[in-house]
């Protein structure tokens, strides 16, 4: 989730810039990674890159593949939030002589946060649930481990119930974080 945010914020800013080449790169990135299924990206990272001489372990492949895909969706969420800030805010920053990056950091992005918190929390939840795909590229993640345990013990109900509770707990952290941030940014 953090890696995808690191990619998404500059891409979203590039998506809204007047510099055509940056905007074009951000649009192409967003289009490409939203158009291809996460599983295909994961398979390419783990099985395809070695054919090109690039070897990544399973964890790195999974983190990079899921991050690249999630970043494309988060880019569009952040871009929509940036676009929703009234034009007068940009003009005021320019009138005060603020450089672009300073106005983004101090004026535009804080206002964007109020708008993007709910869809970002939804994307975080989707990424968390999508991490189950990592078991298909040899990552020992929660769902993959549950499947292995079921085949050993023939006890699907308690194992799957435990997995469901683990996902509920992890998603509860995301929902709690969303509620905290909404309260924080509502207060101004």
Structure tokens at 41: 């990206």
The answer to whether residues 51 and 121 touch, using CB atoms and an 8 Å cutoff, is no
| pLDDT band per the 50, 70, 90 thresholds, residue 52 | very high
Secondary structure (3-state) at 23? helix
Q: What single string gives the DSSP state of each residue in 102-149?
A: HHIIIIIHHHHHHHHHHHHHHHHHHHHHHGGGGGGGT---HHHHHHHH
Tell me the domain boundaries of the chain.
2-186
Q: What is the value of pTM for the model shown?
A: 0.87
Residue with tokens 């309260």: 183
Give the tens place of pLDDT for each residue, 74-102.
999 999 999 999 999 989 999 999 998 89
Q: Helix, strand, or coil here: 51?
A: helix
pLDDT at 188: 54
Report residue 77 CA to chain centroid gap.
Answer: 10
The CATH classification number of 2-186 equals 1.10.3720.10
CA dihedral 177, 106, 72, 116 (to 10 degrees): 40
């Amino acid at each position: 989730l953090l890696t995808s945010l690191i990619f998404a914020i500059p891409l979203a800013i590039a998506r809204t810039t007047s510099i055509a080449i940056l905007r074009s790169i951000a649009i192409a990135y967003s289009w490409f990674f939203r158009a291809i299924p996460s599983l295909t990206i994961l398979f390419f990272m783990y099985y395809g890159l070695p054919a090109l001489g690039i070897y990544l372990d399973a964890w790195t492949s999974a983190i990079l593949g899921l991050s690249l895909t999630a970043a494309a969706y988060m880019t569009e969420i952040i871009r929509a939030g940036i676009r929703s800030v009234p034009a007068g805010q940009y003009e005021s920053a320019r009138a005060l002589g603020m450089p672009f990056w300073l106005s983004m950091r101090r004026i535009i992005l804080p206002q964007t946060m109020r708008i993007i918190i709910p869809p970002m929390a939804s994307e975080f939840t989707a990424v968390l649930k999508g991490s189950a795909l990592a078991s298909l590229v040899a990552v020992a993640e929660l769902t993959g481990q549950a499947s292995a345990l079921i085949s050993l013990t023939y006890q699907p109900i308690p194992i799957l119930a435990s997995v469901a509770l683990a996902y509920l707990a992890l998603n509860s952290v995301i929902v709690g974080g969303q509620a905290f941030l909404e309260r924080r940014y509502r207060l101004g």
